[in-house]
Amino acid sequence: MIVFPNAKINLGLHILSGRADGYHNLETLFYPVNIKDALEVIEHTAVKAPPVQWSTSGLPIPGEMEDNLCLKAFRLIKNDFPNIPPIKLHLHKNIPMGAGLGGGSADAAFTLCLINEKFSLGISKQKLQEYALQLGSDCPFFLINQPSLAKGRGEVLTEFKVDLSGYKLLVVNPGIPINTAWAFSKIKIAHEQREPIDKILQMPVTEWKKQLVNDFEKPVFSSFPEIGKLKDLLYQNGALYASMSGSGSSVFGIFEVQKEINFPVAYFYKWV
């Protein structure tokens, strides 16, 4: 059985306050985009097979294997359903990492759903949400996978109607991985009154440039000017709105029509 975890972008991202649990209260709009990994599970029928045999292809995945979110997702379910037979789990990685596109969280959420469906476990939506939140603050979004207003630490989700189907969306990643914990450490909470993101998103796209802000841009652009220049390049080429996604480093632009833009060879970019 195979599924295709997709990326997301953030339409606006306000960091509202710190929290006693070490996280931050925020508001943002998660918007799914058609940049995808591939994730496959099959039963491992070999004698004395391990509970999970893990393999990857595509983009190299940094870090220790045991820290991979797909394996963590598997172990969460395995702890509650120990009779799941041994499996082979393979991830083909296409979504850039450290990119603000939520690829790791998407892979984890899709792993939960894939194993639930493959073995007919009957796990409720609420329980899947509980598993997902243990894996990452934006992981529960990928169980909904519809444009959603997110609050709390990102787990309080409300589906929100925002339709960009009449526009062309260009997502660009310069290959600079941004550590999310580092990005949060550089945030200075804005205490002035701001228009809520859901109100801004009800305005025409042409008005977003003036008001729809990602609070991570200031510290990230300061440390990595190349990313800020990428946003400028999108505006110079006619984007109606451009922004960094999440804590970076991907930047996206919303255009009326698709057009040719010259990026350095090493950049990943896709019209979606």
Catalytic residues: 8, 138
Three-state SS string over the chain comes to CEECCEEEEEEEEEEEEECCCCCEEEEEEEEEEEEECEEEEEECCCCCCCCEEEEEEECCCCCCHHHCHHHHHHHHHHHHCCCCCCEEEEEEECCCCCCCCCHHHHHHHHHHHHHHHHCCCCCCHHHHHHHHHHHCCCCCHHHHCCCEEEECCCCEEEECCCCCCCCEEEEEECCCCCCHHHHHHCCCCCCCCCCCHHHHCCCCHHHHHHHCCECCHHHHHHHCHHHHHHHHHHHHCCCCEEEECCCCCCEEEEECCCCCCCCCCCCEEEEC
Beta bridge partners of 132: none
Distance, in Å, from the CA atom of 58 to the CA atom of 256, rounded to the nearest integer, reads 32
| Tokens (6 digits) for 222 | 């300061």
Task: Name the phi and psi angles at 211, rounded to 5.
Answer: -130, -25
